Amino acid sequence: VHRNAGEEEFHQAVREVLESLGRVIAKHPHYADQALIERICEPERQIIFRVPWVDDRGLVRINRGFRVQFNSALGPYKGGLRFHPSVNVGIIKFLGFEQTFKNALTGMPIGGGKGGSDFDPRGRSDGEIMRFCQSFMTELWRHVGEYTDVPAGDIGVGGREIGYLFGQHKRLTNRFEAGVLTGKGLVYGGSRARREATGYGTTYFVQSMLESRSDSLEGKRCVVSGSGNVAIYAMEKIRAFGGKVIACSDSNGYVVDEAGIDLDLVKEIKEVRRQRISEYARRKGGDALYVEGGSVWDVPCAVAMPAATQNELTGKDARTLLKNGVIAVGEGANMPCTPEAIRTFQEANVPFAPGKAANAGGVATSALEMQQNASRDSWTFGQTEARLAEIMRRIHDSCAETAEEYGAPGNYVLGANIAGFVRVAESMQALGVV
């Protein structure tokens, strides 16, 4: 603990995984040999750097950049970049730690890493975003590469930012190394269905979870938090499965629309105009209602999908959701439910899909993008989505079977932690003490 003092989110993520590992160590004590558990909790490398940039008024601004290369036992480090004022080393470490197990669960050859900056993109002009991204890459380029570390997007980093980062990488290295970043635009080496993958994948996972209980999303009232990349495409797939999304949010408030959230309007507001979700109620009129502040989890629903940020759904929110009849919860974001919230759902026997399994469709499709780049190929949307659907089904089944094998049927948290851990541990042991 003293080595990672003050890194609360990192402690929370590690504690959750370690709590699951007792059963696997009891059965296979050799996984604890050679300080494997201690090694798995220690990032292989942490890079912290200065990011100076010039704003539109000509003032020099300074932010802090991070890249935590957590574990490369299964492949090059892989994980997104987050630009948000709350970013610090503890948050990037929690995300990198989670990413290691998530990537293992996909069954693909990718290690775990995460990065970002405390830069706040809100209200920044396009030129400022570009200059920031260029400065960020001016340090990052020496630490990344197709066989070393392959970043992607996360909160505050979408297609526009990946484009500026890739452009600067190309300029600095004089190489069009498509496989160095994923989430790229289609014209310069991106994959179809990558933008949709995390939200779609989470929805596929929740649908599988419901199907295993002879139920489905058809006709269900759903609430999705956030209104960014993951939230938008979760809403799109819920609708395709016959569900009805009643509410979504941003960090200022939430909108409720009993007619069902109008996705085209959300996309125009968030993806094109980059405005706040409050605009939705103003533009839509009718019964659409905007609530400033408050919790989107007060809106009654059958299925809840937190898709904004860590610890956004508390024990109190979980009790409200239960009271309102929630029947399934799927984490689109990373660690959005507090430990108390997870316990509350599990004790009530509500199926709960942890982020490291449920939102793995994003990184899995990033690995598909790397495959397409390596073979200089470009698959159709249908082909890529079919692969994503199959991967999500496999992850669901592997979590369910592992939970069953270790005496905790229906506990997807335990199943995901153990299944991910075993794959990383097997590889680390084969590679020796490195």
CB 279 → ligand NDP: shortest distance, Å? 12
Q: Write the DSSP symbol of residue 333.
A: S
Q: Residue 154, interface with ligand NDP (CB under 6 A)?
A: yes
Token pair 């905790």 in the structure block, residue: 408
Q: Residue 229, interface with ligand NDP (CB under 6 A)?
A: yes
Q: Residue 228, interface with ligand NDP (CB under 6 A)?
A: yes
Q: Which residues pair with 352 in a beta bridge?
A: 329
Active-site annotation holds for 114: yes
Nearest to 244 by CA among 229, 231, 258: 258
Q: Residue 153, interface with ligand NDP (CB under 6 A)?
A: yes
Q: Which one of 224, 304, 307, 364 is in contact with ligand NDP (CB under 6 A)?
A: 307
Among 114, 237, 244, 356, the one annotated catalytic: 114
CB 122 → ligand NDP: shortest distance, Å? 7
Q: Which two three-digit tokens encode residue 414?
A: 């335990």
167-175 contacts at long range (C-beta below 8 A, 24 or more positions apart): 167/134, 168/133, 168/134, 168/137, 168/138, 168/141, 169/137, 169/141, 169/144, 172/137, 172/138, 172/141, 173/141
Which stretch, 166-174, 210-218, 313-321, 329-337, contacts ligand NDP (CB under 6 A)? Answer: 329-337
Nearest to 27 by CA among 347, 421, 430: 421
Phi, psi of 258 (to 5 degrees): -65, -20
Q: Residue 79, interface with ligand NDP (CB under 6 A)?
A: no
Q: Residue 198, interface with ligand NDP (CB under 6 A)?
A: yes
CB 110 → ligand NDP: shortest distance, Å? 13
Q: Which one of 24, 223, 230, 247 is in contact with ligand NDP (CB under 6 A)?
A: 230
CB 366 → ligand NDP: shortest distance, Å? 8
Q: Residue 308, interface with ligand NDP (CB under 6 A)?
A: yes
Q: In angstroms, what CA-CA distances link 78 with 24, 75, 104, 172, 382? A: 26, 8, 11, 21, 25
Length of the chain: 434
Catalytic residues: 114
Contact set with ligand NDP (CB under 6 A): 84, 86, 153-156, 158, 198, 226-231, 250-252, 307-309, 312, 332-334, 359, 362
